[in-house]
């Protein structure tokens, strides 16, 4: 039997909030995750679906002072090419290009990636590494949750049932560099075995890496920061020794699982090597 829950398509955010306040709805953005989950094989199908696609309030990419604002409905195709992203956070354009392939990128939204809360969601480590803030809204008002608190446990989020993710706000930090790496089976349509984002800043105080943020996906039940490894990089100028110590610390710090995509040992080894290579590339030797 086909599963066809009723779909409501509000024309404004206020209309969406009113619907959500009255009855439980499953929000739907690009539906690239939702339609896979709607068959009922992976859990109970949604009773009612709230189609967000027409909500212009959830669109737009802009720079406001020292913040990059990204509407939850921004698709990865938009993020690949938006001048603001290419200028301010090119690593996000790069990450967007690795998600699915062109057809998926045309529909898949960053908000859907965030709320779907897969540990393999490719944009999530970048949001952790850049101290992103997630703005949620409901008829009760808006609130902001740090990306670092948004995924408390496997496939769980800090979102309440009547809340929508409205936008992502990323602080733009002078002198910051952000790098992204994804390891999958193919160059397209691959679920990550390891996904990594590394951010750091250089300042006048010396040649060292500062404000180091190392975040990973697909190596734990949620996207994570590798804080112990960050500490062995923080403050040091690039060198062979620091790169090697960071590699060994990360291999020790991660506790990935075995699953159908790869073994824990593979993930640990690959994550450590990817970090090693990244630090060496950036160190310039
Ligand atoms: C063939 C294929 C390849 C894929 N490849 C990748 C890949 O390489 N990397 C990757 O990370 N993912 C991949 N995905 C998964 C998926 O495309 C992404 O997670 C995508 O970002 C989901 O966005 P969406 O807009 O389609 O979300 P939807 O399917 O519409 O929604 C996903 C979840 O988020 C909720 N939701 C969506 N938007 C909001 C909002 N604004 N407020 C509140 N709740 C909301 C929905 O209720 C649902 O629970 C792939 C999927 C397919 C089918």
pLDDT in tens, 206-218: 778 999 999 999 9
Alpha carbons 247 and 229: distance in angstroms, whole number: 8
Predicted local distance difference test score (pLDDT) of residue 284? 58
Q: Both tokens of residue 237?
A: 């100028």
Q: Which atom of ligand 1 is nearest to the CA of 123?
A: 11
Q: Is the confidence at residue 193, as pLDDT, over 90?
A: no
Higher-confidence position of 282 and 168: 168
Query: In this structure, which residue's CA is closest to atom 32 in ligand 1?
Result: 112
Region 10-17: what's the mean pLDDT? 98
Q: Which atom of ligand 1 is nearest to the CA of 26?
A: 47
Candidate of 20, 35, 99 to mutate for ligand 1, largest count of ligand atoms within 8 Å of Cβ: 99
CB contact at 8 A, 61 and 69: yes
Q: Is the confidence at residue 2, as pLDDT, over 80?
A: no
Query: In this structure, which residue's CA is closest to atom 9 in ligand 1?
Result: 99
Total residues belonging to the chain: 285
Q: Is the confidence at residue 203, as pLDDT, over 90?
A: no
Q: Is the confidence at residue 167, as pLDDT, over 80?
A: yes
pLDDT class for 285, splitting at 50, 70, 90? low
Q: Both tokens of residue 227?
A: 């804080």
CB contact at 8 A, 111 and 34: no
Rounded to the nearest whole angstrom, what is the distance from the C-alpha of residue 204 to the centroid of ligand 1? 41
H-helix or E-strand spanning residue 217: strand 206-217
pLDDT tens-place string over residues 17-51: 999 999 999 999 999 999 988 887 777 889 999 99
Percent of the chain with pLDDT over 90: 82
Instruction: For 144-210, give the DSSP string.
Output: EEEHHHH--STT--S--TT-EEEEEEEE--TTEEEEEEEE-SSSSS---SEEEEEEEEEETTEEEEE
Look-up: residue for tokens 């951010």?
199
Predicted local distance difference test score (pLDDT) of residue 93? 98
Higher-confidence position of 202 and 265: 265
- The DSSP symbol for 101 reads -
Cα dist. 94→1, 132, 240 in Å? 40, 17, 27
Rounded to the nearest whole angstrom, what is the distance from the C-alpha of residue 59 to the centroid of ligand 1? 16
Cα 28 to chain center, whole Å?
Answer: 18
The strand pairing partners of 145, in sequence order, are 134
pLDDT tens-place string over residues 38-94: 887 777 889 999 999 999 999 999 999 999 999 999 999 999 999 999 999 999 999
Contacts of residue 270, defined as CB under 8 A and 6 or more positions apart, other chains included, come to 183, 193, 194
- The DSSP symbol for 237 reads P
- Sheet arrangement for strand 194-203: 176-183, 194-203, 206-217, 224-225
Cα dist. 247→6, 188, 232 in Å? 51, 27, 10
Mean pLDDT, the chain, integer: 93
Q: Both tokens of residue 58?
A: 């959830």
pLDDT class for 192, splitting at 50, 70, 90? confident
Ligand 1 pocket, CB under 6 A: 26-34, 36, 52, 58, 72, 99-100, 104, 107-109, 111-113, 115-116, 121-122, 164-165, 189
SS3 15: helix
Rounded to the nearest whole angstrom, what is the distance from the C-alpha of residue 152 to the centroid of ligand 1? 18
Rounded to the nearest whole angstrom, what is the distance from the C-alpha of residue 118 to the centroid of ligand 1? 9
Rounded to the nearest whole angstrom, what is the distance from the C-alpha of residue 92 to the centroid of ligand 1? 16
Q: Which atom of ligand 1 is nearest to the CA of 46?
A: 47
Predicted local distance difference test score (pLDDT) of residue 1? 62
């Amino acid at each position: 039997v086909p599963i066809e829950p009723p779909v409501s398509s509000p024309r404004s955010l206020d209309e969406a909030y009113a619907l959500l306040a009255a009855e439980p709805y499953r929000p739907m953005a690009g539906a690239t995750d939702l339609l896979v989950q709607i068959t009922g094989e992976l859990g109970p199908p949604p009773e009612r679906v709230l189609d967000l696609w027409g909500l212009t309030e959830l669109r737009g990419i802009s720079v406001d002072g020292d913040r990059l604002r990204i509407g939850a409905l921004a698709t990865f195709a938009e993020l690949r090419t938006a001048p603001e992203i290419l200028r301010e956070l090119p690593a996000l354009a790069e990450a967007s290009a690795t998600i699915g392939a062109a057809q998926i990128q045309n529909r898949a939204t960053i908000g859907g990636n965030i709320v779907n809360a897969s540990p393999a969601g490719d944009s999530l480590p970048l949001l952790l590494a850049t101290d992103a803030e997630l703005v949620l809204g409901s008829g009760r008002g808006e609130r902001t949750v740090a990306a670092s608190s948004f995924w408390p446990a496997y496939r769980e989020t800090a979102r309440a049932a009547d809340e929508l993710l409205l936008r992502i706000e990323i602080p733009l930090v002078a002198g910051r560099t952000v790098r992204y790496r994804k390891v999958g089976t193919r160059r397209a349509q691959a679920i990550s075995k390891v996904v990594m984002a590394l951010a750091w800043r250089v300042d006048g105080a010396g040649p060292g890496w500062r404000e180091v943020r190392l975040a990973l996906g697909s190596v734990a039940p949620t996207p994570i920061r590798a804080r112990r490894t960050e500490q062995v990089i923080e403050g040091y100028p690039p060198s062979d020794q620091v790169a090697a110590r960071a590699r060994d610390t990360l291999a020790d710090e991660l506790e990935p699982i075995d699953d159908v995509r790869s073994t824990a040992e593979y993930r640990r080894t690959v994550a450590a090597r990817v970090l090693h290579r990244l630090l060496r590339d950036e160190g310039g030797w």
